[in-house]
Amino acid sequence: MKTFFSALALGLFALPAMAREVNDADLVSKGEYLSRAGDCVACHTAKGGKPFAGGLPMETPIGIIYSTNITPDKETGIGSYSYEDFDKAVRHGVAKSGSTLYPAMPYPSYASVTETDMRALYAYFMQGVEPVPQANLDSEIPWPLSMRWPLAIWRTLFAPKVADFQPTPGQDPIITRGAYLVEGLGHCGACHTPRAITMQEKALSPADGDEFLAGSAPLEGWIAKNLRGDHKDGLGSWSEEQLVQFFKTGRTPNTAVFGGMTDVVEHSLQYMTDADLIAMARYLKSLPAKDPNDKPFQADVRIAEALWKGDDSARGAAIYVDNCAACHRTDGQGYERVFPALAGNPVLQTDDPTSLIHIVLSGGTLPGLNHAPSTIVMPPFGWRLTDEQVADVISFIRTSWGNQGTPVAAKAVAKLRNNGNRTTSGTDIGWVSGSAEAAAATHH
Amino acid sequence: MATSMKKADAVIVGFGWAGAIMAKELTEAGLNVVALERGPMQDTYPEGSYPQVIDELTYNIRRKLFQDISKETVTIRHGVNDVALPNRQLGAFLPGNGVGGAGVHWSGVHFRVDPVELRMRSHYEERYGKKFIPEGMTIQDFGVTYEELEPYFDFAEKVFGTSGTAWTINGKNVGEGKGGNPFAPDRSTDFPLVAQKNTISAQLFQKAATEVGYHPYNLPSANTSGPYTNPYGAQMGPCNFCGFCSGYVCYMYSKASPNLNILPALKQEPKFELRTNAYVLRVNLDSDKRRATGVTYVDAQGQEIEQPADLVILSAFQFHNVRLMLLSGIGKPYDPKTGEGVVGKNFAYQNMATIKAYFDKDAHHTNPFIGAGGNGVAVDDFNADNFDHGPHGFVGGSPFWVNQAGTRPIAGINNPPGTPEWGSQWKAAAADYYTHQLSMDAHGAHQSYRDNYLDLDPTYKDAYGQPLLRMTFDWKENDLRMTQFMVEKMKKIAEAMNPKALKVSVKGAGSHFNTASYQTTHLNGGAIMGTDPKTSAVNKYLQSWDVPNVFVPGASAFPQGLGYNPTGLVAALTYWSARAIREQYLKNPGPLVQA
């Protein structure tokens, strides 16, 4: 009997502690999921480095900055941060030291993350991440631009008030969930919303106007595309189902992920629940077109017919047949799930052709993912085609089969090829110029 | 002293089709698997990068994807009284190297097996009597039936993304008049993809074969007829008949390979590790030689590494499996004088004959520069035992086909008989005939014989100081009579096309094995499967009779050469063996068949 009672007593005493551990484990695991949704790992991990230990170089208009160590290491990471310190950094953009963070940290987006989610994130970063002692790197921004006090002014002017996300009354709760993820942790606007001359995003939500998620200027050699309802260069031709497939597998029947978005799918989106992916997709599909005159894609068979008849006299057509048509086909339709369609593809119809030039020069890798294990690579063509040839073939695909893009000049190709752009994702353009100096210059 | 690695549940030697299938099956069973591949990593990108891969000089002529015979080769002799010499230039056969093995450079003809060929000796004895099988011919039964293997053929085709036309599915005829093969065994499901389109040459063959009363069918091809996603989620593109198939990495993601169809799924599997440039020297056995303890290999830095494991899979190329068994002391080496011993026994090959037909320059634009390695039209009227062998007095059969795999510029120019080998007349004939010709083959089964065998060479050693493998091999009268019979039957098809000229390449009476002339890389036997440990090296589950934690999948298990290409049977047998490991061996490690 004694034994029984002791066991019972021990059991009783153990209960609260166990319950707390279980709750903590749940909270840590929820925080891990939210950190995936926020894609913290993408910026806070250097190529080949330990997760969250920082050190990834990021190009800003005033110079290179490096992401910081956010592992719970007490000396070099955020191990000494209280919840309040953590919240101040993530949602308010102010480090524990009191200095304002560079807005490369998307705290204007994170301002709407709920406190409940913030507490889960904190639990994860304190208890679920391995501490890594690794000192932060100084930025390469020259004085006087390196002074941080103007950032505080910038923050006061442009960062929104920190407040838990507020649902729009009467909205479909699925769309509301999507809005919370896209506008908040997903910080999609950080890349996909154009920025003003003063570098703030022109809109942080649909309420701020039709610039929200309307596509960016080139960043690290890529355009972050328009995510609004435009058919020409947005998501007008995409179905909700296709968006979910894209988030989960990096591929749809017609297209494949490339550039900076590859990391987002690889490190963040593929881990999210179907419910959250559907919510994000439905929310994005609820955004109207930016261009009031936007029209659906109209297929034009003339180019395909000419190529079938052996007429490759159009500018760039012969280069297309020799280099591209085996996979993308003379009718620009590609092959389902393996080789993207070019006809009607919004990426080909953006006003700024940077992404397209980048892909033709340096190729693209669709990575193997949890739900779609095959890696499919478009080889680079920069070693093989001159600036003039690249411009010709890009002009051809931007204007064929009904595509509404505009022709491209050779100097636009030369500019991208020679600027030694350093990218945090995909292949650095510097490699394709073929010069050792350019390669060395882009890889410290 | 070798460095020892952390023990694995299973170590796999050689990462071609058999190794990849085993790795996938065993990780699915929850095992920690280490695969050792002697060659480098290679994949669609960058090795198959377009357009660099469209390079006949690098890939076919300079043998980019094949075994480096400056490090290890085989010695070859025709008879037991000859002295074997090292094969210093790849010719008759082309073993692969690197990740994917021969599964990267193969063409993609993806057959099942004719059920008769699995019980070759029993069938011939039953139908024609014991005396019909000539003295010295050592053909045997596999010890496994088509019915047992059918589910594994079926699944392998789904993994490979095979294109083809079924004849019957569960007894119901679905292929008559549509390109199905009336001699094909019954299937449980259809091919995962419809047959590929046929080239002009294959269409001509189909028409002519029908005219002479044969039964043409679409070759089953592991080149895709459209985009495909296999049961592992691995994706394939569509074959575009580029003509750079056999000997190349496929840039269209459309020729099945271990790299394309299985490795992507394994890369997502934390229980799997692939080590490249790991050249296995031997399987290590415990003191009583009844249990393997792992393998020893040399890494890229030249260091000897020991990889301990509970289970050893030898899935290297056919003759490497045999050599590793001989070097490790697994099983009793075969002795042709006494007929005793099993390792090295029944080394067999393929028995090819070819006819080229040349047409007038205004007729039949055959566009030989296009093609796909597994594509074409065939007849099985003279394959296996689909005809009465009684009056002809030989064992074995042969499918015939036009398999237009792409005729490339360096090796592909072929002129009618009588054309000079060089000069202006050669050029004129090439211009006239290049796009107006086709080629057809009698693929030819090949039987096993008492004195065609493999053992360790007494003289020559490899770069690591170990004896080379010695091939003792020559054509026998049965083979020569069979191929001459076949070429006459195939010639009827060629003649029905009304060609301007024919060129017949067939081995004449008294021909000897020629190491310089490419035939196929379909080498068989040496570690054959069977029902009796006295006459086979592995049991019906490809488990070594002598060391039961060693399994040996591959064409090394075939007791004789098939009429069909071997890869389909290699894949099905490997899945069959893996299933036995998963469902029987792991529960109760030990011999799966009591001797």
HSE of B395 in the Cβ direction (CA atoms, 13 Å)?
A: 32
The two three-digit tokens of residue B448, written as one number: 């096993």
Shortest Cα distance from B130 to chain A (angstroms)?
52
Asked if B238 lies within 8 A of A335 by C-beta distance, the reply is: yes
Bridge partners of residue A366, in order along the sequence:
A376
CB-based contact, A383 to chain B, within 8 Å: no
Q: Contact B265/A373 with Cβ under 8 angstroms?
A: yes
| A398 has a pLDDT exceeding 70 | yes
- Of residues B49, B237, B260, nearest to A379 (C-beta): B49
Confidence of residue B593 (pLDDT cuts 50, 70, 90): very high
Asked if A373 lies within 8 A of B232 by C-beta distance, the reply is: yes
The residue among A332, A387, A322 whose CA lies nearest residue A361 is A387
Domain count of chain B? 1
B590 inside domain: no
Q: What is the dihedral of CA B227, B232, B233, B239, to 10 degrees?
A: -20
Instruction: Select from B28, B159, B253, B261 the residue whose CB has the most chain A CBs within 10 Å, as the one to mutate to test that interface.
Output: B253
Instruction: State which residues form the domain around B182.
Output: 3-585
Instruction: Report chain B's mean pLDDT, rounded to a whole number.
Output: 97
Asked if B50 lies within 8 A of A374 by C-beta distance, the reply is: no
CB-based contact, A384 to chain B, within 8 Å: yes
CB-based contact, A372 to chain B, within 8 Å: yes
B365 classed as catalytic:
no
Q: How far is CA A133 from the centre of its chain?
A: 28
Contacting residues of A for B46, CB less than 8 Å apart? 379
B593 inside domain: no
Contacting residues of B for A377, CB less than 8 Å apart? 44-45, 49
Res B304: pLDDT: 97
Instruction: Select from B50, B52, B228, B232 the residue whose CB has the most chain A CBs within 10 Å, as the one to mutate to test that interface.
Output: B50
Instruction: Select from B45, B54, B267 the residue whose CB has the most chain A CBs within 10 Å, as the one to mutate to test that interface.
Output: B45
B257 inside domain: yes
Look-up: residue for tokens 């006949």? B56
**B234 → chain A, closest CA residue:** A374
pLDDT in tens, A163-215: 999 998 999 999 999 999 999 999 999 999 999 988 899 999 999 999 999 99
The residue among B134, B105, B586 whose CA lies nearest residue B373 is B105
The residue among B281, B257, B328, B308 whose CA lies nearest residue B527 is B328
CB-based contact, A370 to chain B, within 8 Å: yes
Res A219: pLDDT: 81
CA distance A225 to A45: 24
Asked if A339 lies within 8 A of B237 by C-beta distance, the reply is: yes
Res A8: pLDDT: 43
B550 inside domain: yes
CA distance B582 to B446: 33
CA distance A414 to A390: 10
Contacting residues of B for A327, CB less than 8 Å apart? 237, 252
- Of residues B49, B52, B235, nearest to A376 (C-beta): B235
- Of residues B50, B236, B265, nearest to A379 (C-beta): B50
Confidence of residue A444 (pLDDT cuts 50, 70, 90): very low
Contacting residues of A for B233, CB less than 8 Å apart? 371-374
pLDDT in tens, B513-540: 999 999 999 999 999 999 999 999 999 9
Contacting residues of A for B252, CB less than 8 Å apart? 326-327
pLDDT in tens, A353-386: 999 999 999 999 999 999 999 999 999 999 999 9
Cβ–Cβ contacts within 10 Å for residue A323, how many?
19
In chain B, pLDDT over 70 holds for what percent of residues?
Answer: 100
CATH topology of domain A20-130: Cytochrome Bc1 Complex; Chain D, domain 2 (1.10.760)
Q: Contact B252/B107 with Cβ under 8 angstroms?
A: no
The average pLDDT across B215-222 equals 98
Res A421: pLDDT: 54
Q: Is B177 exposed, middle or buried (0-12, 13-18, 19+ CB in 10 A)?
A: exposed
Res A394: pLDDT: 98
Asked if B45 lies within 8 A of A377 by C-beta distance, the reply is: yes
DSSP string, A409-426: -HHHHHHHHHS----SSS
Q: Which residues of A are annotated as a binding site for heme c?
A: 40, 43-44, 188, 191-192, 324, 327-328
Instruction: Report chain A's mean pLDDT, rounded to a whole number.
Output: 89
Contacting residues of B for A373, CB less than 8 Å apart? 232-234, 264-265, 267-268
- Of residues A323, A368, A376, nearest to B253 (C-beta): A376
pLDDT in tens, A277-312: 999 999 999 999 999 999 999 999 999 999 999 999
- Of residues A365, A373, A377, nearest to B267 (C-beta): A373
Q: Which helix (H) or strand (E) holds B33?
A: strand B33-36
**A369 → chain B, closest CA residue:** B268
- Write out the residue limits of the CATH 1.10.760.10 domain(s) in chain A: 20-130, 302-442
**A329 → chain B, closest CA residue:** B240
CA distance A399 to A353: 12
Contacting residues of B for A372, CB less than 8 Å apart? 233, 235
Q: Which helix (H) or strand (E) holds A260?
A: helix A260-267
Q: Contact B248/B59 with Cβ under 8 angstroms?
A: yes
pLDDT in tens, B323-373: 999 999 999 999 999 999 999 999 999 999 999 999 998 899 999 999 999
Cβ–Cβ contacts within 10 Å for residue A15, how many?
10
The average pLDDT across B215-234 equals 98
Residue B586 vs residue A145, higher pLDDT? B586
Contacting residues of B for A389, CB less than 8 Å apart? none
| A436 has a pLDDT exceeding 80 | no
Asked if B235 lies within 8 A of A368 by C-beta distance, the reply is: no
Q: Which own/partner contact pairs does B44-49 have at CB distance under 8 Å and 24+ positions apart?
A: B44/A376, B44/A377, B44/B249, B44/B250, B44/B251, B44/B253, B44/B259, B44/B260, B45/A365, B45/A375, B45/A377, B45/A379, B46/A379, B47/B249, B48/B248, B48/B249, B48/B250, B48/B251, B49/A377, B49/A379, B49/B251
Res A238: pLDDT: 97
pLDDT in tens, A134-155: 999 998 888 888 888 888 888 8
Asked if B51 lies within 8 A of A373 by C-beta distance, the reply is: no
- Which entry of B110, B436, B446, B522 is annotated as an active-site residue? B522
Q: How far is CA B458 from the centre of its chain?
A: 28
Asked if B264 lies within 8 A of A370 by C-beta distance, the reply is: no
- Residues from B in contact with A at Cβ < 8 Å: 43-46, 49-52, 226-227, 229, 232-238, 240, 242, 251-253, 260, 264-265, 267-268
The amino acid that residue A292 corresponds to is P
B18 inside domain: yes
| A12 has a pLDDT exceeding 50 | no
Res A150: pLDDT: 86
Q: Which helix (H) or strand (E) holds A290?
A: none
Q: Contact B512/B78 with Cβ under 8 angstroms?
A: yes
The residue among B435, B349, B441, B366 whose CA lies nearest residue B398 is B441
Res B511: pLDDT: 96
**B232 → chain A, closest CA residue:** A373
The average pLDDT across B298-306 equals 97
> How far, in Å, are A405, B161, B340, B450, B558 from residue B347 at the CA level?
63, 31, 15, 9, 9
Contacting residues of B for A367, CB less than 8 Å apart? none
Q: Look up the ipTM and state it.
A: 0.92
CB-based contact, A365 to chain B, within 8 Å: yes
Res B134: pLDDT: 98
Q: Which CATH architecture has domain A302-442?
A: Orthogonal Bundle (1.10)
Q: Contact B458/B466 with Cβ under 8 angstroms?
A: no
Q: Which residues of A are annotated as a binding site?
A: 40, 43-44, 188, 191-192, 324, 327-328
The average pLDDT across B276-304 equals 97
CB-based contact, A8 to chain B, within 8 Å: no
Shortest Cα distance from A332 to chain B (angstroms)?
15
Res A420: pLDDT: 58
CATH of the domain at B290: 3.50.50.60
| B580 has a pLDDT exceeding 70 | yes
B167 inside domain: yes
Asked if A338 lies within 8 A of B253 by C-beta distance, the reply is: yes
CA distance B448 to B124: 14
Asked if B264 lies within 8 A of A368 by C-beta distance, the reply is: yes
Confidence of residue A252 (pLDDT cuts 50, 70, 90): very high
- Of residues A338, A339, A373, nearest to B233 (C-beta): A373
Asked if A374 lies within 8 A of B227 by C-beta distance, the reply is: no
- Of residues B235, B237, B264, nearest to A327 (C-beta): B237
Which A-chain residues 301-340 have CB contacts (< 8 A) with chain B? 323, 326-327, 335-339
The two three-digit tokens of residue A228, written as one number: 């609004």
B299 inside domain: yes
The average pLDDT across B275-285 equals 98
3-state secondary structure of B340: strand
Instruction: Select from B55, B159, B232, B235 the residue whose CB has the most chain A CBs within 10 Å, as the one to mutate to test that interface.
Output: B235
The residue among B330, B324, B325 whose CA lies nearest residue B291 is B330
Shortest Cα distance from A335 to chain B (angstroms)?
7
Confidence of residue A38 (pLDDT cuts 50, 70, 90): very high
Asked if B264 lies within 8 A of A374 by C-beta distance, the reply is: yes
Cβ–Cβ contacts within 10 Å for residue A316, how many?
24
The residue among B342, B567, B353, B456 whose CA lies nearest residue B84 is B456
The average pLDDT across B394-408 equals 96
